[in-house]
């Protein structure tokens, strides 16, 4: 073999070796990237939403990787989303990873709300625009019932413990807070039954009161529904009530006290003027708000239950409730 042939073989071997090394390095890089993606998915997952934002999810496995790894992944991702012009970030942190909330807060996130099992935090990236991210639900719903028996007497109750000492022992309408996903109608029928043992059929909504800054700073929407008793025997829940009775209009009126009357220190055994107004409107009013079930909207989110439409009608109106 000539020297030229030997040189050619050496050159080919070197080229093959270089190609092999390059291929090995490329494979190693791919493996590293794959491993990094797998590692990141154990720390943070995300999807883009319809509003140019990103919904982030911390999987429970992130608890094992530690705060430092989470901080590094989150910082890198925030930088990439800023560069891409993204808007709002929504970060859901499960209870088992609650220590990571502090890490997220240090990188610009703040609490949106917390419920059993998770906390949701948000971050608005654009510094030159105000955040349009919606607040969490801020109004609780309570429902009271004006229940009439065959003599048009009204079912009145005394709570065992009133929310305010001033109202302790006062006569009021049965009712309570709606559970999540519960319609007005379901709430009032349930509350009347649980508190007094009386079964009742719905007639319609007669009034609504809206307050602000109530429990936990929440708004409070109180809806009063008129019902007709289908049973009249009262069996009170002693954990909820200290008394319940059927009262005629004249008896109720005789107990009315104006809440603004400074000479009255307690409404014990009395009826508030507000309750009296609601009761008289229910007894005398010619119009009532009826409820009717609406068909599920195509494509509506979480549309597992039909919505209710409430509209004003005359007392003789029979459609719906």
Helix (H) or strand (E) holding 251: helix 249-254
Judged against a pLDDT cut of 80, whether residue 118 lies above it is answered with yes
Whether the CA torsion 65, 66, 72, 78 is positive or negative: it is positive
Q: Is 280 exposed, middle or buried (0-12, 13-18, 19+ CB in 10 A)?
A: middle
- Residues 6+ positions from 22 with CB-CB distance below 8 Å: none
Q: Which domains are delineated in the chain?
A: 41-124 (3.40.630.30), 139-284 (3.90.79.10)
pLDDT in tens, 154-195: 999 999 999 889 999 999 999 999 998 898 889 999 999 999
pLDDT tens digits along 204-234 = 899 888 888 887 788 889 999 999 999 999 9
60 touches 54 (CB < 8 A):
no
């Amino acid at each position: 073999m000539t020297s030229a042939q030997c040189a050619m073989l050496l050159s080919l071997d070197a080229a093959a070796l270089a190609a092999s090394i390059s291929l090995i390095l490329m494979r190693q890089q791919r493996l590293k990237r794959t491993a990094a993606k797998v590692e990141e998915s154990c720390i943070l997952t995300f999807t883009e939403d319809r509003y140019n934002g990103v919904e982030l999810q911390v999987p429970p496995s992130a608890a094992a990787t530690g705060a430092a790894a989470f901080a590094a992944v989150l910082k890198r991702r925030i930088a990439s989303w800023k560069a891409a012009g993204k808007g709002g970030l929504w970060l859901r942190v499960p209870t088992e990873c609650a220590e990571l909330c502090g890490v997220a807060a240090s990188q610009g996130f703040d609490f949106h709300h917390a419920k059993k099992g998770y906390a949701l935090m948000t971050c608005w990236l654009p510094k030159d625009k105000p955040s349009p991210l919606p607040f969490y639900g801020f109004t609780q719903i309570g429902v009271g019932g004006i229940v009439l028996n065959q003599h048009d007497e009204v079912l009145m109750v005394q709570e065992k413990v009133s929310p305010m000492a001033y109202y302790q022992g006062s006569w009021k309408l049965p009712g309570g807070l709606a559970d999540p996903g519960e319609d007005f109608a379901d709430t009032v029928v349930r509350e009347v039954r649980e508190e007094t043992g009386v079964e009742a059929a719905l007639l319609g909504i007669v009034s609504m009161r809206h307050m602000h800054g109530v429990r936990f700073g929440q708004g409070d929407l109180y809806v009063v529904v008129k019902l007709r008793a289908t049973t009249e025997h009262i069996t009170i829940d002693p954990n909820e009530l200290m008394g319940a009775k059927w009262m005629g209009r004249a008896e109720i009126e005789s107990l009315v006290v104006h809440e603004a009357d400074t000479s009255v220190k307690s409404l014990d055994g009395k009826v508030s003027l507000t309750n009296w107004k609601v009761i008289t409107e229910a007894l005398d009013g010619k119009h009532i708000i009826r409820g009717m079930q609406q068909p599920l909207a195509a494509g509506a989110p979480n549309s597992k239950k039909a919505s209710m439409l409430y509209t004003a009608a005359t007392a003789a109106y029979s459609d719906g409730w």
